[in-house]
Amino acid sequence: MRLALLGLVLLGVLTACDGQPAQSTAQPEASATASISTATPVPGQLPVPEPTVDAVPTDMPAVSNAITLTMWTTVWFSPTQDITSGQILAQQVDLFEADHPRVRLEFVLKEPYGKGGLLDFMSTAGAVVPGLLPDLIILDVDELGTAVQTGLVQPLDGLIPQDLVADLYPFAREAATFGGQLYGLQFQADLDHLVYNTGKMTSPPRSWSSILSGPGPYLFPAGGKAGLVNDAFLMQYLAVRDQSGVIGPDSPFLDADNLAKVLQFYQDARSSGIVPAKVVSYHTTDDVWNDYAVGQAALAQVSAHRYLLAMRQSPPSGGDLREGLSSSSVAPVAAVNGPAAPIGRGWVLVLVTSDPARQAAAVDWMVQLMNPATNAAWSEAADYLPTRVTTMAEWRPGESYSQFIRQQLQAARPRPQLADYTRVAAALQEAVIAVLNGTATPQDAASQAITGSQQ
């Protein structure tokens, strides 16, 4: 198993694209070795790498027609991590290579997002030197649609066992399906739920009215993430929209009346003091958790990942995970007349190679990572959620939190697949800020959001 950097070749790729020498974004562990040339290539020309010879262990028999599967990943999903999740992945690599003596796995580390990140680098390499593309890549599920549009990733229909596909929670299957075809296997997930202080609230809120009549403060991220509206608002809007009866194949995603209802709830909660002004400074659920954990709120919307991390930092004294935080419990996010469906997030395994032999080996590796026992062990070590129904039987068995999460995963939905999602989410964020800051009425903000989403 080798940790590889693309070195000169990838440097030339980005130079050809923007005329600037690129810097490697990989962050290998200390045990990995790599060299990066500092020579500046001639613009428009791809440097030719010097041939390299990989060392072959002396106890490894020579094989013909060997395949090296290249997987682009990021540091947190790497077998070089000297933590439990990395060790689990390294063990799986060893098992895979033992079962596939003609196949070796090679991991190339990239930044998760942005310039030089996984999606950006795949798009760049695919446009300039397709031969540099990996066989497999992991992507944020929210970027999978863009990857599909590039034409560089392969559908999985007919390649993945149908029983595995059917075992995925509906949100994970739907999020990776485009044009009726499955383009990824979501191997980990996250979602939001409520955490509340049982010393301040005897029971969690079930609706907007119970939130407004509760003790407060109620904290949730309202500041937007990278200028886009948070899942906290989307969950509330989708709950209202579901009950409105306006949903149809030709219905626009945004509806002024439904938007105004959610924004009115925000205004009511803000004016009553249940929601403090500082929620506009929370960009993530981590921001929310930091204040909830020090007693600044009775109720907060947090991510399952952040909650699990907190439980690990404050180990339970018994078998119940929630005992790690005294006087805290969890509940679904309360919406207009009942619980809101969580929005599932996560990362997917994506097939890039179109070569049949390499596809077969790559699919075997994907399926191995999705094995219930393996995926449960990795997800638990990484403090994320599984995406298969059968995996939940292996994930923190016997804990009440796992029972709660099982219900949340079943109810979860993917982020809306909108061609203009970025524009819509940016317009919604402007409306949220305007209402919470008191610079627009809910009706005016809703109207402005619809106008802004169409520009």
For 326-354, give the DSSP string: TTEEEEPPBBSSSBPPPBPEEEEEEE---
- Which residue intervals of 346-441 are DSSP H helices? 356-369, 372-382, 400-411, 421-436
The identity of residue 25, as a single letter, is: T
Q: Give me the CATH number covering residue 313.
A: 3.40.190.10
pLDDT tens series, the chain, 455 aa:
444 433 433 434 334 444 333 333 333 333 333 322 223 333 333 333 333 333 334 344 445 589 999 999 999 999 999 899 999 999 999 999 999 999 999 999 999 999 999 999 999 999 999 999 999 999 999 999 999 999 999 999 999 999 999 999 999 999 999 999 999 999 999 999 999 999 999 999 999 999 999 999 999 999 999 999 999 999 999 999 998 876 776 789 999 999 999 999 999 999 999 999 999 999 999 999 999 999 999 999 999 999 999 888 755 444 444 443 678 999 999 999 999 999 999 999 999 999 999 999 999 999 999 999 999 999 999 999 999 999 999 999 989 999 999 999 999 999 999 989 999 999 999 999 999 999 999 999 999 999 999 98
Same domain, 199 and 117: no
Same domain, 423 and 363: no
- Residues whose CB falls within 8 Å of the CB of residue 188, separated by 6 or more in sequence, listed in order: 346, 347, 378, 379, 382, 384, 385, 386, 387
Domain count, the chain: 2
Residue 189 domain flag: no
Domain holding 108, by residue range, is: 2-46+62-183+345-411
DSSP 169: -
Report pTM. Answer: 0.84
Residue 56 has a CB neighbour count (10 Å cut-off) of 11
Same domain, 266 and 138: no
As a whole number of angstroms, the distance between CA 291 and CA 304 comes to 16
Same domain, 99 and 162: yes
Same domain, 356 and 335: no
User: What number of H helices and E strands is found in the chain?
Assistant: 16, 12
Q: Are 298 and 215 in contact, with CB atoms under 8 Å apart?
A: yes
Q: How far is CA 185 from CA 261, 360, 387, in A?
A: 36, 15, 9
Same domain, 148 and 265: no
As a whole number of angstroms, the distance between CA 152 and CA 431 comes to 36
DSSP 279: G
